[in-house]
Amino acid sequence: MSESNERPDALATRAIHGGQHHEPVTGAVMQPVFQTSTYAQTWPARHTGYEYSRTQNPTREALERCVASLEEGAEGIAFGSGLAATEAVLHLLPPGAHVICGDDVYGGTYRLFTKVMAHRNLRFTFVDLTGTPADDAIPADADLVWLESPTNPLLKVADIAAIAARCKAVGALLAVDNTFATPVFQRPLTLGADLVVHSTTKYLNGHSDVVGGVAVARTAALGERMHFIQNAVGAVCGPWDAFLVLRGIKTLAVRMARHQDNARQVVDWLVRHPEVKRVHYPMWEGDPGHAVASRQMSGFGGMISFVLDADLARAEKVCASTRLFTLAESLGGVESLIELPASMTHASVPEADRRARGIEDGLIRLSVGIEDVGDLLADLESAFAASRS
């Protein structure tokens, strides 16, 4: 952010400069990689602000400041993965706490909540936070609401401001996974959320060469609690990973614009295709969440889900027949990816629960990259044709 009396820097500027300073010894423009585990002290417990790299690392701190700037929060806290950041949020809660979670979430989040943290005396209730009024969806005994918006993989949109107001009324924390939208298109803290979480593996890094996560706290007090958990639990982001994410963020604004432009053309193609039953993309006018998305988002990136009018075998064949869309999990890289949630990213969700939540066998998720969109459309057309034989 600008430190002058002029207007605050725009997000595209903060993506390049936010929270970062020229290295004071050499004047290096890019934040150096501080590949060190410990730091010299001039006297017992007297140091320059750095003593051990689990606790403080200059490269990681630059990343934390940068993402906090993008999300307009007080403190960023970087972790070794998105799930590590998610677990750290749960460590804020007392034993017996009640967590309300959206019913359409990343399969790894569902697995963490139901297979790990539920055995640590936390109670989880899964609710449709996009189709149920906040006052009905969030009971008075809620301690935390965990929200994805847009959700994974159905891209449903929740009214973050309304949910934040209900959380404030009942004294619950609100944490929003903003991985899909990124701060380029949505900033939940400005809508009342207490915490924002990202898998930095995805759009923030953007090049499919890092695994990491970050949380951003709206207040300094909450950020201090999260930093304590980060240090105590130890699942920190390494300096090389922090460096790579910082480098990726510098092109975040321009990448997201291209992801969005390509995705909108792919959506137009899918909507007209006779073999597609349904398309999920919140900035498409026909999407059920479009009205809410238009209020709280300035756009959307490259994530599209659609339902093929076919059985599981045909959907699998489509996914296996592309040339440019790589069949792989993850998302948010410059390259396009395709996957089948029922057997890949959401396989940890029991089949009955998947079907009840709308994750059909024919549901295909695309992460549209920044390649030439004509080539991407030709690739999809070829895969559809190959799957018919």
pLDDT single digits (tens) 248-264: 999 999 999 999 999 99
Q: What is the pLDDT of residue 5?
A: 55
pLDDT averaged over every residue in the chain: 95
Q: Which has the closest alpha carbon to 203: 265, 250, 243, 248?
A: 248
Q: What is the pLDDT of residue 22?
A: 86
Structure tokens that stand for 207 in this block: 């090049």
Instruction: Place domain 253-387 in its CATH homologous superfamily.
Output: Aspartate Aminotransferase, domain 1 (3.90.1150.10)
Please spell the DSSP secondary structure of 250-286, one letter per residue. TTHHHHHHHHHHHHHHHHHHHHH-TTEEEEE-TTSTT
CATH architecture classification, 11-249 = 3-Layer(aba) Sandwich (3.40)
**What is the residue extent of each domain of the chain?**
11-249, 253-387
**In whole angstroms, what is the distance from residue 51 CA to residue 55 CA?**
7
Strands, E, within 37-108: which ranges?
75-79, 98-102
Structure tokens that stand for 132 in this block: 């149920």
Q: Over range 208-220, report the average pLDDT.
A: 98
**In whole angstroms, what is the distance from residue 180 CA to residue 150 CA?**
7
Q: Which residue has the tokens 């959907």?
A: 315
Catalytic site positions = 54, 106, 177, 202
**In whole angstroms, what is the distance from residue 142 CA to residue 317 CA?**
43
Asked if the model's pLDDT at residue 118 lies above 50, the reply is yes
Q: Over range 202-225, report the average pLDDT.
A: 98
Q: Identify the band that residue 20 occupies on the pLDDT scale cut at 50, 70 and 90.
A: confident
Q: Identify the band that residue 1 occupies on the pLDDT scale cut at 50, 70 and 90.
A: very low
pLDDT single digits (tens) 168-189: 999 999 999 999 999 999 999 9
The angle, 0 to 180 degrees and rounded to 10, between the axes of the packed helices 82-90 and 220-233 is 110
In this prediction, what percent of the chain has a pLDDT beyond 70?
Answer: 99
Q: What is the pLDDT of residue 55?
A: 95
Q: Which has the closest alpha carbon to 204: 319, 87, 79?
A: 79
Q: Over range 304-312, report the average pLDDT.
A: 95
**In whole angstroms, what is the distance from residue 323 CA to residue 310 CA?**
21
**In whole angstroms, what is the distance from residue 230 CA to residue 91 CA?**
10
Q: Identify the band that residue 23 occupies on the pLDDT scale cut at 50, 70 and 90.
A: confident
pTM, full prediction: 0.94
Question: Do the domains 11-249 and 253-387 sit in the same CATH topology, yes or no?
Answer: no
Count of alpha carbons within 13 angstroms of residue 60, beta-carbon side: 26
Asked if the model's pLDDT at residue 216 lies above 60, the reply is yes
pLDDT single digits (tens) 309-360: 999 999 999 999 999 999 999 999 999 999 999 888 888 888 888 888 888 9
Q: Identify the band that residue 2 occupies on the pLDDT scale cut at 50, 70 and 90.
A: very low
